[in-house]
Each structure stands twice: as structure tokens, then as C-alpha cells.
Amino acid sequence: MKKILVTGATGQLGSELTITLRNRYGAENVFAAADKKPALNELTQSGPYYCLDVRDMPVLNQIVETNNIDTIFHLAALLSAVAEQQPQQAWDVNMNGLINVLEISRMHQCALFFPSSIAAFGTETPSMDTPQDTIQRPTTIYGITKVSGELLCDYYHHRFDVDARGLRYPGLISSKTKPGGGTTDYAVDIFYAAIKSQHYECFLRADTQLDMMYMPDAIDAAITLMTADSTQLKHRNAFNVTAMNFTPQQLAAEIQKHIPEFTIAYNVDPLRQAIADSWPRHMNDSAAKAEWDWQAQFDLQAMVKDMLEKIALN
């Protein structure tokens, strides 16, 4: 990877991935792009930044051609809950954006990273120890764009030899950029509430068990996959990866070990509860471990400690 483009660079994953890539590959070699100009911050001040709507093929092509981009981390997408409120827009951004990036990757021989999700599975998928290869009939528009994206990326690899690789991420937890419009956002919001008011009103049921991952592991997984020996990859789009598994009740109990006065209440959002209930409880990520040595570093205890320390400093 020499010249890298990150789309959706102002998002929860994109903002931290861009900074990490700039630290590793040189700020001048990592081009951040997002659909609107954010406030001047570490992202826009630490390296090149473009305003880009990924549906705008001529602008996307011009950015890739001008800068000799050889690797694209395509993160621009509407997340599950916000997508469910505007399914046509979600299909337009998530799928027309992806087909544009795949076409650009084909024309300019770029390697491509595509973030899929546990959302790519549905209620007929085995919910515990969810296999790498299994039935995928998601019931959300976000999940439909993710499984369609996986199939498109595999197609472009087999048909046009595009070096497309992807991960099925669980919920991501980060201290720098809040997520926008996801079903797992509670697992980030709860930390800010715990520090600010020692109380959090959770929009998912107390017993909603989901796979989760701390941002440093999510970034490490993306970069390790994209730099892995492609001859070792039996799967490509997209590897199951997970790091921990908990319910809101279990997360609250871990926070209470640090903030004893912290309390949680539950005000279930039917839309986001229905989305979460359609996802598996725990994925099997043995294929990622076998094919490119995936190994998470943060478990629930380590993540909670680090999150509280980092947010307290913000």
C-alpha cells in the first residue's frame, strides 16, 4: 500500500483508520474523503482531504487518477438504523457508491477494502458460533446492502481480478468519533453518559447479546487483512471477525466496577431492537485466524478501562 484513499473518512471507523494509516504510511500518502467538509480537526489538518460523494464517479475517478491511488478503504455507507428510516437512499449510497469504487478499482488496479457486518446475516442464520460460510438472508436494508456488497466484491475479484477483501465487523466501540445511526451505538453512548451523568437510558433490552470490537482491534484487522499474503486467502468477502460478546446489562456491570454510582435504565426502541434481534449472537472467526492470523487484543474488561480513561481525557 503506497497511495491510499479512505472514503467515509469522517465516520466512526474512517476517522481513526485514516490517522493510523497516516502514521504508518506517511500523511501525504493517505487521502481522506467524505461527503461533507467537517470542522477543521486532526483529520483535515493532518493530511489531504477531499469532499466526495461516492456516487459521483467523475470526481472519484479524478481523485484516484490524480493521486495514483493503489488501495481504497471504502467506508462510506448509511448504517443500520438510519438506513431503515430511508431504505431507498441507503441502497443508492451503499450500492451505487460501492459499484463505482469497484469499477474504479478495476480500471486503476486498486486493492479494495469493504466493511461488511454481522448485519449481513439474518434470522435463519445459526445465531451462536455463526459459521464463515452459512445462509445469509438479512431482513434490514443495511444487511441487504452488506450481503450484496460481499457478493459484488467477490464477483469483481473472480471476473476482473480486483484484489477486493472485506471483514464482517461486529459493533464497533471507539472513544474518538461517535457512531452515527447504528444499532450498536448504545455501546459507545453509554460511556459518555456514565462519565457525564452516571446514568444511561439504553435503547436495547438488557439481555440483547451481540458481538463487539474495540476500535484499535478493528483498525488492526483491516490493515492486517489488506497486507496479508493473498495466496493464503481462501475467503475474501468477507471474513467474520469478533473480539468480545456482551449484553447491555453486562457492559453496565463492567462500567460500575469503575463508576459504582453508575445506573442504567431501559427504554427500548422497537426499530433498533428488531434490527438487533435479527443479528447473530456470536460469530465464529476461525477462518480469519487461520488465513491471516487474526487475533483481538481487547476483551470487555480491557476495553471498558481504556474507554473510560480516554473519554475522561476528551
Q: What is the set of active-site residues?
A: 142
Of 15, 132, 183, 209, the one binding ligand VAH (CB under 6 A) is 183
Here the cell at position 304 is 471498558
Q: Which cell is 234 given?
A: 481462501
Q: How far is the CB of 267 from ligand VAH (least distance, A)?
A: 18
Question: b/e for 235-255, b at 16 or more Cβ within 10 A?
Answer: bbbbbbbbbbbbbbeebbeeb
Give the one residue of 18, 71, 175, 184 binding ligand VAH; rule: CB under 6 A. Answer: 184
Distance CA 250, CA 266 (A): 13
CB atoms within 10 A of CB 127: 16
Q: Which of 98, 119, 141, 213 binds ligand VAH (CB under 6 A)?
A: 119
Stretch that binds ligand VAH, among 55-63, 176-184, 222-230, 287-295 (CB under 6 A): 176-184
Establish whether the linkage from the previous residue to 238 is cis, with ω within 30° of 0: yes
Site for ligand VAH in 140-169 (CB under 6 A): 142
185 contacts: CB under 8 Å, gap ≥ 6: 81, 178, 179
Can you read off the three cell numbers belonging to residue 141? Answer: 436494508
Q: Which is nearer to ligand VAH, 117 or 125 (CB)?
A: 117
Residue with the CB atom nearest ligand VAH in the bound state: 182
Binder among 8, 149, 170, 248 for ligand VAH (CB under 6 A): 170
Per CB under 6 A, 136 contacts ligand VAH: no
Q: Which helix (H) or strand (E) holds 32?
A: strand 30-34
Closer to ligand VAH at the Cβ: 18 or 145? 145
Task: Give me the least distance between CB of 72 and ligand VAH, in Å please.
Answer: 19
Give the interface with ligand VAH as residue ranges (CB under 6 A). Answer: 79-80, 117-119, 142, 170-172, 179, 182-184
